[in-house]
Amino acid sequence: MTRIEINRLMKKLIFYRQNQLYKTYPIAVGRPETPTPLGEFKIYEKNPKPHPGLGTRWMAFTYQRHGIHGTFNPWTINTAATAGCVRMYNEDIEEIFPLVPIGTPVIIFDRQETEKIPEHTGKEVYFVRPGDTVESIARRFKISPEELISFNKIKYPKYLHPGKMLLIPQYNR
């Protein structure tokens, strides 16, 4: 079963696939005056070509038009900047969009917790830090930049965002 958890306090989207933690993503949430609603919802609509203000993908979870969407303002991620929606980097929403069926539960809460790390067999997890490049991360883990790009399906290798979760293949280590 697929499930999305939104931790407003940590500004993280936690994505589960087949009941297993798949990945976490940095997000922006609602401003104090227009907070992202707490509670349990379901994805009821998906749009692969939304209004440009919503980035490259849109998934609605309330009938008041709260949704999970991309952004053309990536500097707003990890902030409280929206009118109540959950904002993701375009490449992150594009990654999960095809994996999220209509009816997927969306659970939104506020809780301080440690970073959730998926237990992917044969892979190490790395979170991009400021100043990292595909080349510097590949060097650190003794793999080629092409392997890192391919393994993580990185769409824009020149634009790695801090907080992005990367899976590192272990076969070369």
Q: Is the pLDDT of residue 119 over 70?
A: no
Q: Is the pLDDT of residue 91 over 80?
A: yes
- Is 156 contained in some domain? yes
Residues of the chain above pLDDT 90, percent: 66
The predicted pLDDT at position 173 comes to 46
Q: Kind of pairing, strands 105-109 and 3-7?
A: parallel
Q: Is the pLDDT of residue 120 over 70?
A: no
Same domain, 100 and 158: no
Domain span at residue 141 reads: 123-169
Same domain, 66 and 144: no
- Domain tally, the chain: 2
Q: What is the mean pLDDT of the chain?
A: 90
Cβ within 8 Å of residue 34, ≥6 positions away: 82, 83, 84
Q: Is the pLDDT of residue 118 over 70?
A: no
- The length of the chain, given as a count of residues: 173
Same domain, 69 and 154: no
The predicted pLDDT at position 117 comes to 66
CB neighbour burial string for 121-158, b if at least 16 within 10 angstroms, e if fewer: eeeeebebeeebebeebbeebebebeebbeebebeeee
Same domain, 105 and 130: no
Please list the active-site residues: 69, 85
- Is 160 contained in some domain? yes
Alpha-carbon distance of 81 to 63, in angstroms, equals 20
